[in-house]
Amino acid sequence: MPPIIDFHIHVGRSEMWKPWVFEWAVNNLNEDDRRLGAEHYLDSIAASWETLEKHLDECGVDYAVILAEESPITTGITPNDYVINFCRGSKRLIPFCSVNHYLHATPGKELERLITQDGFRGLKIYPTYEHFYANDRELYPMYAVLQDAKLPLMVHTGSSVFKGAKLKYGDPLALDDVAVDFPDLNIVMAHSGRGFWYDRAFFLARLHEHVYMELAGLPPTRLLEYFPEFERNADKIIFGTDWPGMPYIKRNIEQIRKLPLKASTFEKILGGNAARVLGLGG
């Protein structure tokens, strides 16, 4: 059986986020967890890799991708150093760095340093939050580094409710250029074009061998509404939650398992496809 993998987890402390990000996360908690204190819920689970792994065990998750972020104008900064140090003691937490090319003179060299010196195992970029298109040629040196290292690129696609976000940059169609120009680069479309572009994300994942959809932030009960031919893309869909913004990992897994899908499809989307992208085997 393939492992269960959550491809989309943020571990930054609540004080690293912009106030509106924290307020949004709080609004997604149930009444009991709000009563206990949102800071307690959001920070205590991710107090250390040990506490997060304990929570993952309770949710039935074997591995998780842990995301850094450099989006100072929209959501905040979860530093690369924080993320790599958080993950260092764990074999189950897989760190992805963030390189905002507006903040680094040579983003390709910075990414290479983060991979070779620090041990990051992927990159996430945030076009909607940092205001660029994913096919901007200034990003190509980073894509070349990833392709050479056989490490995946994760891209925020689709909408955002946060102040300062510009939705036009979330169109996954920009990734068609990237997939053509870097044919061996694994590209994971976080949120699968959420809101405006579900059809484009679905088509791109079918068209390109190394392009994948990812389900973070999407309510599982509506997946077959958003993607009427969902199961046709079973080999190209990856499970993720966007924890703690979408705080209930176990519930998401349970709701996905209730969908009218083949047993083999559950195995692929809940971990098999992600394991292949991450080079975990299984």
DSSP state of 2: P
pTM of the model as a whole: 0.96
241 and 249 Cβ atoms separated by less than 8 Å: yes
Query: In this predicted structure, what is the pLDDT of residue 39?
Result: 72
Query: In this predicted structure, what is the pLDDT of residue 266?
Result: 98
For the stretch 219-237, pLDDT in tens is: 999 999 999 999 999 999 9
Amino acid at position 137, single letter: R
- Range with the poorest average pLDDT among 15-29, 52-66, 114-128, 137-151: 15-29
The per-residue pLDDT of the chain, averaged, comes to 95
Going across the sheet that includes 63-67, the strands are 5-10, 63-67, 93-96
Domain that holds residue 252: 5-278
Higher-confidence residue: 46 or 209?
209
For the stretch 31-75, pLDDT in tens is: 877 777 767 777 789 999 999 999 999 999 999 999 999 999 999
* Number of domains present in the structure of the chain: 1
Query: In this predicted structure, what is the pLDDT of residue 262?
Result: 97
β-pairing verdict for 237-238 and 93-96: unpaired
Query: In this predicted structure, what is the pLDDT of residue 281?
Result: 67
Q: Is pLDDT above 90 for 154?
A: yes
The DSSP code sequence of 140-164 is HHHHHHHHHHT--EEEE-S---STT
Q: Is pLDDT above 90 for 20?
A: no
> Domain with 250 in it: what CATH number?
3.20.20.140
Higher-confidence residue: 268 or 12?
268
228-267: b or e for each residue (b if 16 or more CB lie within 10 Å)?
eebbebbebbbbbbbbbbbbbbeebbeebeeeebeeebbb
207 and 233 Cβ atoms separated by less than 8 Å: no
Higher-confidence residue: 157 or 46?
157
Query: In this predicted structure, what is the pLDDT of residue 1?
Result: 84
Higher-confidence residue: 85 or 39?
85
The token pair at 65 is: 């991708």
